[in-house]
Amino acid sequence: MPSRWSGRRARFRNVINGTQCVHPASVHDPIGGRIAQDLGFEVGMFAGSTASLTVLGSPDLITLTLTEFAAQAHRIMRAADLSLMCDADHGYGNALSVMRTVEELETAGVSGLSIEDTDLPQPFGIGEKQRMLSIEEGVGKMKAALAGRRDPDLVIAGRTSAPQIAGIDETIKRAKAYAAAGVDAIFLVGMKSRAELDAVAAANIGKPLILGGVPGELSDKAYLSSKGVRVALQGHQQFAAAVQGIYTTLKHLRDGGKASDLKGIASEDLMKKVTRAADYDKWAKDFLS
């Protein structure tokens, strides 16, 4: 029986299985999800980094809990009809924890999620250097994620930081292993050049690609599409813009400035649109009059 999430998951499947690359909207709260929907973004991206910033006000150090992450994802899903891809980090523990992560995020309504092979949270004694799990443990996590899925339309991506930690040969090796485990897409973090992406594409991994954190030469959507990339992240600038807006506004007021002199304030019409005020006005007439 179709769920309330079926339509948006089907749309995301169409993107992943299609022929064109899209840039997702980075969203971190319900209003952001609605704005992305209103602007026509095909996909939203809810990252662990922006979740930590939103919920905890802290850097992305994997101190956020699964419960907090899933709850925020559900708030976004409840407010916006948007296909949402989530960065589920390491799955909040071992392979058994990954199963629980998939169950919670599927219930929250997301359309896709990625599980990565970085050794998280940061282990004792390795400093700032990132370390990856063994391929065997990574494959175990991917298989556990698939086992935890109940809705076959939910997209599960195997994510690896090998491009920025171990190089392209290791990237291809891990991508092929995760593809063989059955994931729906491969999420690559830290690709540095067209030459690297060309090498991955030539390896015939057989799965759609998702890219995160790419340089300018990997910004051409036509080129990315030709190499099997279906989603390419552009960063989370909207959160930094929101922080700057709040800081500037509060500082202006604290310094004695007039509210009437503030710039960049959302209009009354925009506020009504993103809060769906017309719907609430109608419901008030229907149910309270």
Instruction: Quick: pLDDT tens for 31-48.
Output: 999 999 999 999 999 999
Q: How far is CA 181 from the centre of its chain?
A: 22
Q: Is there a cis peptide before residue 59, judged by omega within 30 degrees of 0?
A: no
158 pLDDT higher than 80: yes
CA separation, residue 228 to residues 17, 204, 211, 212, 233 (Å): 10, 10, 10, 14, 14
End-to-end CA distance of the chain: 36
CA–CA separation, 207 and 107 (whole Å): 25
Answer yes or no: pTM beyond 0.85.
yes
CA separation, residue 189 to residues 87, 112, 122, 137 (Å): 12, 17, 17, 19
Provide the 8-state DSSP code for 134.
Answer: P
Average pLDDT of the chain to the nearest whole number: 96
Pairing relationship of beta strands 44-46 and 209-212 according to DSSP bridges: unpaired
Q: Which helix (H) or strand (E) holds 179?
A: helix 168-181
203-255 pLDDT, tens digit each: 999 999 999 988 889 999 999 999 999 999 999 999 999 999 999 999 999 99
Edge to edge, the sheet with strand 209-212 lists 25-26, 44-46, 84-87, 112-116, 155-160, 185-189, 209-212, 229-232
128 pLDDT higher than 80: no
Which structure tokens are listed for 221? 């959507």
Q: By the 8 A CB rule, do 81 and 40 touch?
A: no
Range 49-70 average pLDDT? 96
Q: Would residue 127 be called left, alpha or beta, if left means φ above 0 and alpha means ψ between -120 and 50 degrees? A: left
Range 155-160 average pLDDT? 98
pLDDT of residue 127: 76
pLDDT of residue 1: 55
Q: Does domain 6-123+132-237 have CATH number 3.20.20.60?
A: yes
2 pLDDT higher than 90: no
CA separation, residue 182 to residues 104, 126, 144, 206, 249 (Å): 20, 32, 11, 11, 49
283 pLDDT higher than 80: yes
User: Residue 280 — very low, low, confident or very high, per pLDDT cuts 50/70/90?
Assistant: very high
SS3 breakdown of the chain: % helix, strand, coil, rounded to 5? 50, 10, 35
Where along the chain do its domains lie? 6-123+132-237, 242-288
